Amino acid sequence: MKKALVLGASGGMGYSIVKELSSRGIEVVAFARTKSKLEKLFDGDTNVTIFSGDIFELKDLLAAASGSDVIFQAANLPYVEWEEKLPPFMMNILNVAKKQSAKLAIVDNIYAYGRSPGKKVTETTPKNPHTKKGNTRLQVEKLIKESDVPSLIAHFPDFYGPNAENTILHYTLQNIVKNKKSSYVGEQKIAREFIFTPDGARAIVNLALNDEAYGQNWNIPGYDVITGEELVQEIRNITQYDKKVSTISKSMIKFLGLFNANMREVVEMFYLNEEPVVLNGDKYEKQIGEIPRTSYQEGLRQTIEFMRDREKREE
């Protein structure tokens, strides 16, 4: 891989993928809508070229993808737009990849698996989505597999990490960093899985560099499962935060959904806080190598440090 295009480069996983590619000396085009965000994130990185454009505009995608060997799809849309816009958006990406003779590396979540089977899910676990968003992700997966574009799909648990702002852990961390009252989404005694975005980026780049990884799905687990109480304690140890962290329940989100369309969509996915889906990474470790795993203590420390540095710069 000599040159790569990263869609959604100003988001959590996209940002980390750009940084991972650049650290390996690979030329990267970082694509997102807002030029100023891209400039702040990648200013001074000589391996990175920024491209501000519209992910729904075929001409923008074609221009950005020129000369790229691999396209990393890490862009996301608001929940309320998934059903209508995600499938045609993916068709655009597939058409661009085909025209540029590029491969595709897709950042995906766990929604298509549906409810937890009570054990870690593998790549061969049947996908039985019971939500609109899970069905949309499965529909998109079928579009990818029915195309003749060499593609790999990497399934990740919920993200946290530098610049990963559209995540449930960021919701908790942002007020803690400001030393304000904070909340945690879901029952704090339930253990679930999160992945540090630099680990996820390293894993998907490793896959993208392996020709045999294409045409397959890959599960990339996090460091381990962890309860909300344990996470909050790790955060307290790092920050000396001493305020109470309250719990955001499903009923509270339902109430917010009366006034906010996106919150109505969040309610549908709340089952992941009650019966978490946990990924099995044996396939990756057998065929690619050791899965990158940063401890929660170190990952949270780096994430909080990034947030504090950004806050200082914006003062």
**Structure confidence at residue 269 as a pLDDT band (50, 70, 90):** confident
Inside any domain, residue 134: yes
Check: CB of residue 307 under 8 Å from CB of residue 250: no
Pairing of strands 70-73, 245-248: unpaired
Query: pLDDT band for position 258 (50/70/90)?
Result: low
In this predicted model, what pLDDT tens digit does every residue of 131-141 receive, in sequence order?
A: 999 999 999 99
Phi, psi torsion values for 187, nearest 5 degrees: -60, 125
| Cα gap 109→219, rounded to integer Å | 9
CATH code, domain carrying 73: 3.40.50.720
Closest CA to 158 of 108, 102, 228: 108
Looking at residue 144, what is its pLDDT?
96
| Band (63; pLDDT cuts 50, 70, 90) | very high
The string over 116-126, giving b where at least 16 C-beta atoms fall within 10 Å of a residue's C-beta and e elsewhere, is beeebbebebe
pLDDT at position 194 is 97
In a domain, 298, yes or no: no
For residue 246, which of 188, 159, 167 has the smallest C-alpha distance?
Answer: 188
Q: Which of 258, 257, 259 is nearest to 268 (CA)?
A: 257
Quote the percentage of the chain above a pLDDT of 90. 83
* pLDDT of 158 strictly over 90: yes
173 lies in a domain? no
Model pLDDT for residues 3-27, shown as the tens digit of each residue? 999 999 999 999 999 999 999 999 9
For the chain, how many structural domains are there in total? 1
Q: Which of 120-129, 134-143, 260-269 has the lowest mean pLDDT?
A: 260-269
C-beta of residue 175 within 8 angstroms of C-beta of residue 235: no
181 in any annotated domain? no
Task: Indicate the pLDDT class of residue 222, thresholds 50, 70 and 90.
Answer: very high
Structural domain includes residue 132:
yes
Position 251 scores a pLDDT of: 86
Residue 72 forms part of a structural domain: yes
Nearest to 167 by CA among 204, 193, 189: 193
Residue 37 belongs to some domain of the structure: yes
H-type alpha helices, the chain = 12-23, 35-42, 58-65, 82-100, 132-146, 168-177, 197-208, 228-239, 250-257, 261-268, 271-274, 282-287, 296-314
DSSP 179: T
List the domain range (segments joined by +) for residue 218. Answer: 3-164+195-223+277-293
In a domain, 85, yes or no: yes
Instruction: Quote the mean pLDDT of the chain.
Output: 93
